[in-house]
Amino acid sequence: MVPNEDEIYVCRCEEVTVGDIKRAIAAGARSVRDIKVRTNAGMGVCQGMTCRKNIERMLREAKIDLDVCCTHQRFTVRLLNVNDLTAITNEEGE
Amino acid sequence: MSLTADVIVIGGGVIGSSITYYLSKRGKRVIQLERDYFNSGASGSCDTMISPNTKEPNEHLQLALYSVELYKTLSSELGRDIEYEQKGSLLLIENQEELNIMEGIVKKQNSLGLNSRLISAEETLRLQPGLNRDAIVGASYSEVDADVNPFCLNLAFADRAAALGAQTFTHEGVQEILLHNGAVAGVKTNRNTYYAPIVINAAGAWAPIVGKMVGLNIPIKPRRGQTVITEAVPPFVHKLVNNARYIVGKHHPELLKDDHSAKARMGIAISLVQSRKGNVEFGNSREFVGYDTSNTYECLRELIKNATRIIPGLKDLNIIRTMGGVRPHSPDSKPLIGFVQGVPGFFLAAGHEGDGICLSPVTGKLVSDLIVDGKTDVPAAAGFDPNRFNLF
């Protein structure tokens, strides 16, 4: 039993709650990125891996048509060490 | 639905929102329209720097210095923490040729009121530990440079403007500008029609598309920048860090014309800064590739190579994402701010390239002065008159 749904964390990395997302939608947000700007949800270390689907679901439940079925995600997709990437890119460059 | 206002602002970036705020503060009834969401363009894919040190020592620098003054009290004025923090900025100088050019630039900056100075490599390392001593011969340093959270900045302007009576509509793209006897009368969006005798085009890199609706040929071009963001780490970057070469190349491209490396071609710079939360953002590029905002492997490789050479400790960090966006490039690197001659009521405020964050407050102030008073105390404002270009 959760006493208050609004206090549940949707984005654990940035500590954004259901209530925060609801307020963003009420303020006019209509996409995951829009919500990101207003709440920072999805900007943490996992880059929306946990929260993206749940936020998309909340948008649909709020009767907002998403332009796309899933939100575009940028490289690196997973956490990547700079040094490891340097090693790969050096090989490519030579 | 139709609505009437004194002014319609097209654009929901830091320029459009600042203008909406300053006009509302002066008592104008404003409608702001954004075709996507706030910060969906350059204002949401930029770095956080307010850096007069990187401005060309002319009217551009004067505008930036005025903006810095406005920034100092902006959080309290807007009633919201915009994460403004004066950190100081370093332009890293890598060789004697750059040093010679920077000597001239610093002298000109000083004469225009920016208190920048050249410092030794040792002093540079004291201000920003972790730099590769072998990679630099020194730096130019400016204390007033600061950073800010662009998301907070934009929403603070828009929310404060709304509290003052402005009406802001997102997800509404302007499709047509209504004219009456050749003068601006309003705009038509995908949803509604709005009426006002003044329409401000603050659409950034997309300003030429809006300009076409009234037959203008606005010489702004999208210029892509790519950047890298790491996970949050303890304080590691204390200053805003840039390559002097980036500034030299920005203001004197002729000096780099014999440099055909991938780095020079893509305009690679370190643009290093750390956010309040601890994320390190580094790397920047300047590429003309239309409105394509994707990240390319070739560019990221050069960004990382350049950055880790200058500050090797970056190698220990983990990247969480990369970012790409397009800035509004103007042919003389200066924004276009003012009424357009030939289309009464049509006002242009775009073309800030990579200086939108820095120049956001002063642009709003300048635009509201010109519209409400017909004059301004912002210095050198005439230098940004859009009619310096042939717009037809």
β-strand partners of B232: B279
Mean pLDDT, chain B, rounded, equals: 95
Task: Please write the tens of the pLDDT for every residue from B72-115.
Answer: 999 999 999 999 999 999 999 999 989 999 999 999 999 999 99
Report chain A residues whose CB lies below 8 A from the CB of B231.
45, 79
Are residues B94 and B139 both part of a single domain? yes
Instruction: Using pLDDT thresholds of 50, 70 and 90, give the confidence band for residue B247.
Output: confident
Taking one residue from A and the other from B, the number of pairs with CB-CB distance under 8 angstroms is 84
Are residues B211 and B233 both part of a single domain? no
Are residues B122 and B233 both part of a single domain? yes
Residue A1 has pLDDT above 80, yes or no: no
Task: Please write the tens of the pLDDT for every residue from A6-28.
Answer: 999 999 999 999 999 999 999 99
Task: Please write the tens of the pLDDT for every residue from B350-380.
Answer: 999 999 999 999 999 999 999 999 999 999 8
Q: Do B304 and A82 touch (CB under 8 A)?
A: yes
Are residues B258 and B347 both part of a single domain? no
Q: Do A45 and B232 touch (CB under 8 A)?
A: yes
Tokens of B13: 């970036």
> Is B60 a member of any domain?
no
Q: Out of A52-61, A73-82, B123-132, pick the least confident.
A: A73-82
Are residues B97 and B229 both part of a single domain? yes
Number of domains chain B contains? 2
Tokens of B44: 């949401």
Sign of the CA dihedral running B321, B326, B328, B332: positive
Where do the domains of chain A lie? Answer: 5-93
Q: Give the burial class of B3: count Cβ atoms within 10 A of its Cβ; 0-12 exposed, 13-18 middle, 19 or more buried.
A: middle
Q: Out of B209-218, B238-247, B320-329, pick the least confident.
A: B238-247
Residue A65 has pLDDT above 80, yes or no: no
User: Which one of B40, B317, B324 has the shortest CB-CB distance to A82?
Assistant: B317
- Residue A70: the pLDDT is 61
Percentage of residues of chain B with pLDDT beyond 90 = 92
Q: Do B37 and A31 touch (CB under 8 A)?
A: yes
CA dihedral A58, A62, A63, A69 (to 10 degrees): -20
Task: Please write the tens of the pLDDT for every residue from B53-81.
Answer: 999 899 999 999 999 999 999 999 999 99
Tokens of B57: 């020592």
User: Which one of A29, A79, A80 has the shortest CB-CB distance to B37?
Assistant: A29
- Residue B2: the pLDDT is 64
Determine the residue of chain A that is closest to B300 in CA distance: A89
Cβ neighbours, 10 Å, residue B165:
12
Question: Rounded to the nearest 10 degrees, what angle do helices A32-39 and B150-163 cross at?
Answer: 90
Question: Rounded to the nearest 10 degrees, what angle do helices B14-25 and B150-163 cross at?
Answer: 30
Q: Are B20 and B5 in contact (CB under 8 A)?
A: no
Are residues B225 and B299 both part of a single domain? yes
Are residues B259 and B112 both part of a single domain? yes
Q: Does B319 touch chain A (CB under 8 A)?
A: yes
Tokens of B278: 């601890």
> Is B81 a member of any domain?
no
- Residue A59: the pLDDT is 92
Q: Do B231 and A33 touch (CB under 8 A)?
A: no
Are residues B180 and B238 both part of a single domain? no
**pLDDT higher for B164 or B261?**
B164
Check which CATH number belongs to the domain holding B95 and give it: 3.30.9.10
> Is B281 a member of any domain?
yes
Are residues B121 and B253 both part of a single domain? yes
Burial code (b: 16+ CB inside 10 Å, e: under 16) for A53-87 equals ebbbebbeeeeeeeeeeebeeebbeeebebbebbe
Q: Give the 3-state secondary structure of residue B193.
A: strand
- The average pLDDT across B156-178 equals 97
Tokens of A85: 């990437």
The CB-side HSE value for B211 (13 A sphere, CA atoms) comes to: 27
C-alpha span between B182 and B186 (Å, rounded)? 12
Q: Are B261 and B249 in contact (CB under 8 A)?
A: no
ipTM of the complex: 0.88
Q: Give the 3-state secondary structure of residue A71.
A: coil
The CB-side HSE value for B102 (13 A sphere, CA atoms) comes to: 27
Polymer length in residues for chain A: 94
Closest-CA residue to B297 (of B226, B222, B224, B230): B226
Q: Does B48 touch chain A (CB under 8 A)?
A: no
Residue B303 has pLDDT above 80, yes or no: yes
DSSP β-ladder status, B30-33 and B7-10? parallel
Q: Does B308 touch chain A (CB under 8 A)?
A: yes
Instruction: Using pLDDT thresholds of 50, 70 and 90, give the confidence band for residue A94.
Output: very low
Tokens of B375: 């004059």
C-alpha span between B41 and B204 (Å, rounded)? 8
Determine the residue of chain B that is closest to A31 in CA distance: B37
Residue B248 has pLDDT above 70, yes or no: yes
Task: Please write the tens of the pLDDT for every residue from B6-30.
Answer: 999 999 999 999 999 999 999 999 9
Q: Give the burial class of B190: count Cβ atoms within 10 A of its Cβ; 0-12 exposed, 13-18 middle, 19 or more buried.
A: exposed
> Is B131 a member of any domain?
yes
Which of residues B329, B354, B373 is at a domain's end?
B329
Question: Distance from A30 to chain B by nearest Cα, in Å?
Answer: 8
In terms of residue numbers, what domain contains B201? 2-44+151-219+332-388
> Is B213 a member of any domain?
yes
Check which CATH number belongs to the domain holding B40 and give it: 3.50.50.60
Question: Rounded to the nearest 10 degrees, what angle do helices B14-25 and B356-372 cross at?
Answer: 30
Which of residues B299, B314, B329 is at a domain's end?
B329
The long-range contacts involving A87-91, CB below 8 angstroms and separated by at least 24 positions, are: A89/B297, A89/B300, A89/B301, A89/B304, A89/B305
C-alpha span between B30 and B9 (Å, rounded)? 7
C-alpha span between B91 and B116 (Å, rounded)? 10
Residue A92 has pLDDT above 60, yes or no: no
Q: Are B140 and B90 in contact (CB under 8 A)?
A: yes
Are residues B232 and B122 both part of a single domain? yes
- Residue B25: the pLDDT is 98
**Residue for token pair 């900056």:** B109
Residue A68 has pLDDT above 60, yes or no: no
Residue B315 has pLDDT above 80, yes or no: yes
> Is B75 a member of any domain?
no
* Class of the CATH domain delimited by A5-93: mainly alpha
Residue A69 has pLDDT above 60, yes or no: no
Are residues B241 and B196 both part of a single domain? no
